[in-house]
Amino acid sequence: MPLAHPFDDDKLKEECGVFGVVGVADAANFVALGLHALQHRGQEAGGIVAHDPEDGFNSARRFGYVRDNFTSQSLMKTLPGPLAIGHVRYSTAGSKGAAIRDVQPFFGEFSMGGAAIAHNGNITNADALRKELIERGSIFQSSSDSECIIHLMARSLQRNIPERMEDALRRVEGAFSVVAMTRTKLIGVRDPLGVRPLVLGKVGDGWALSSETCALDIIGAEFVREIAPGEMVVITAEGGVESHFPFRKQASKFCIFEHVYFSRPDSIIGGRSVYETRRQIGVELAREAPVEADLVCPVPDSGTPAAIGFAHESGIPFGLGITRNQYMGRTFIEPTEQIRNMGVRLKLNVNRALIKGKRVILVDDSVVRGTTSRKIKEMILDAGAAEVHFRIASPPTAWPCFYGVDTPQREKLLAATMSEEEMRKHLSVDSLKFITLDGLYRAVGEADGRSKSCPQYCDACFSGEYPVVPSDMIEKGFQLKAAE
C-alpha cells in the first residue's frame, strides 16, 4: 500500500497490536473488533487464528485495514470457535512492505497439538537465534523475528505448550508482549521489563487479552488489570486465569513513548488516562517554555491533548488552526509529481481565517526527520501567520528504538545531528522548544522527575540509555552512547 503522502514516514511507527479472546461464541468476531480498535498500532496487515473443537485451527491473513478484510461474513464464517487471537502489523523486523508469510499470528504444529502466537515488540538477539536455529535444521517461513519463538518452542523438551513457551522466551532478549493460543488455552506473556503493554479483560463468561484498554471497550469487556512485567497468564474458559512469573524479576521499563504517542488517548496505562497524561505534558511544556503568542494550535491529531494543556496553563486561546481530512486513506493514488509535491496538503489544511495575522504556537508530539514540520510551518506562514513557534510534547528523538518501533537510522534523526537551536534554524521557525525528560516524567506522574540512577521508564529514543543491549545491531556496527 502506498503511503497517503510523502511525509507519512516522519513519525515513529506504532509497533503492532495483539488481541485474544476465549470462552465466547464466534471469538474471531470479537478479535476483529478488537483489532479494529488497535488499528493505530499497525496498518500494514492483519491476521486472525481461531480454533473450533470440530473444525480445528483456521487462519486468515490479509494486507490492509481490518475494516476492509475482517468485516466480510463469508470470511468470518471460516474462523469458527470459542477461542481466537489476532495481530495488526507494522513491519519493524523483517521485510518492509512484507510478504503475506510475514503476517502474524504464526502457527506451529507440535507433538502435543497446535499453537499460534502473536507478538508485539522486537527480539534484539533474533539474528543470532535465527542463525543457530537454521544451523540446527530449522526451516524458517518468514523474515519476522517473531518466528524464532515458534522454532524455539518446537525444540524445547518441556511437556506442554505453556512450558515450552516459557522455555523459548527465556532465550529471547528485547521486548515482547505475546498473545498465544492452543486448542483450549489463551496465553499472555510480558517480558521482564514490561516494555510493551498488555491488559486483561472480562467479556461475558469469557476473557480477553489486548494491547490496550480501548480495544476492550469496543467489545464491551470489563478491564480487569494489566499483565505485570514478567508475568505469564494461562486462561481457559472453564478454569479462568492462572498466573505465574517464569522470569528473573527486574525493574520495570515500560516504554514512555506509549504515553506520548503510540497509545490511543482513550486508553488507560498504569491507572492513568493517556489523554490526561498528554494534556499534562502540555501543561509542563507551557511552564518550561513560555512564549508570547495569540493562538495555540495542535498539529492533528496527536498534538491535540498537549495543545489543550498548553493553552490552559498559558492562558493563550486554543484554536483548531489545522484541519485533517478524515477520509484520506493510506491507499490514496498520487499519479503525478505535481500531486506528490502538494505533500501534507493532501491530509492537512489550514484554517486561514483563524491563522491570519496571529502569532501561532504549533504543538506536535515529536520531531523525527523534520520534513513534516517544515511543510506545516510553510502552510501556516502561507495562511498569513505573523510568527510560528513550535512546542514539542516529547524530548528530542536522538536515538533509534530496537524494541518494536520502526525508527530511522540514527543519522536521519534530526536531533541526532543538530542542537535545538540548529533545528530551529533548519525548520526556519521563530522558536522551537522540546519538553525536558524531567518534565515528561513529571507529566506521567513521577513528581521528582527522572531517576538518573535507575530510570522508571524505557526512554532510550531520547536518552540513548538502552535497558536491553541491542546485540544484533551492535553486531552490525551500531555504537552505544558513550558513558558519561
Q: Is residue 389 within a helix (H) or strand (E), and if so which, with residue range?
A: strand 387-392
For 180, the 3-state DSSP assignment is strand
How high is the pLDDT of residue 327? 66
Distance between CA 256 and CA 445 in Å, rounded? Answer: 12
How high is the pLDDT of residue 330? 44
**In the predicted model, is pLDDT for residue 8 greater than 80?**
no
Residue whose C-alpha is closest to residue 118's, from 131, 130, 108, 133:
108
- Least confident window among 18-22, 300-304, 336-340, 452-456: 336-340
For 286, the 3-state DSSP assignment is helix
Residue whose C-alpha is closest to residue 439's, from 337, 313, 342, 341:
313
> How high is the mean pLDDT of the chain?
91
Share of the chain above pLDDT 70, in %: 91
**In the predicted model, is pLDDT for residue 482 greater than 90?**
no
Cβ contacts of residue 109 below 8 Å, gap of 6+? none
pLDDT bracket for residue 407 (50, 70, 90): confident
Residue whose C-alpha is closest to residue 278's, from 267, 287, 265, 269:
265
Tens of pLDDT, residues 69-107: 999 999 999 999 999 999 999 865 545 556 899 999 999
Please state the rounded mean pLDDT for residues 377-403: 95
Cβ contacts of residue 297 below 8 Å, gap of 6+? 307, 318, 319, 320, 321, 322, 355, 360, 361, 362, 363, 380
How high is the pLDDT of residue 338? 61
**In the predicted model, is pLDDT for residue 7 greater than 70?**
no
Tens of pLDDT, residues 154-195: 999 998 999 999 999 999 999 999 999 999 999 999 999 999
Tens of pLDDT, residues 97-148: 568 999 999 999 998 899 999 999 999 999 999 999 999 999 999 988 999 9
Tens of pLDDT, residues 427-444: 999 999 999 999 999 999
Cβ contacts of residue 243 below 8 Å, gap of 6+? 231, 232, 233
Is residue 16 part of the annotated active site? The answer reads yes
For 283, the 3-state DSSP assignment is helix
How high is the pLDDT of residue 408? 77
Q: Which residue has the cell 488489570?
A: 225
Q: Is 480 exposed, middle or buried (0-12, 13-18, 19+ CB in 10 A)?
A: middle
pLDDT bracket for residue 4 (50, 70, 90): very low
Distance between CA 36 and CA 218 in Å, rounded? Answer: 9
55 secondary structure, DSSP code: T
**In the predicted model, is pLDDT for residue 344 greater than 80?**
no
Distance between CA 115 and CA 109 in Å, rounded? Answer: 6
Share of the chain above pLDDT 90, in %: 82
pTM as predicted: 0.91
Q: Is residue 272 within a helix (H) or strand (E), and if so which, with residue range?
A: strand 272-273
The residue from 16, 148, 401, 458 that is catalytic is: 16
Cβ contacts of residue 386 below 8 Å, gap of 6+? 294, 357, 358, 359, 360
How high is the pLDDT of residue 325? 78
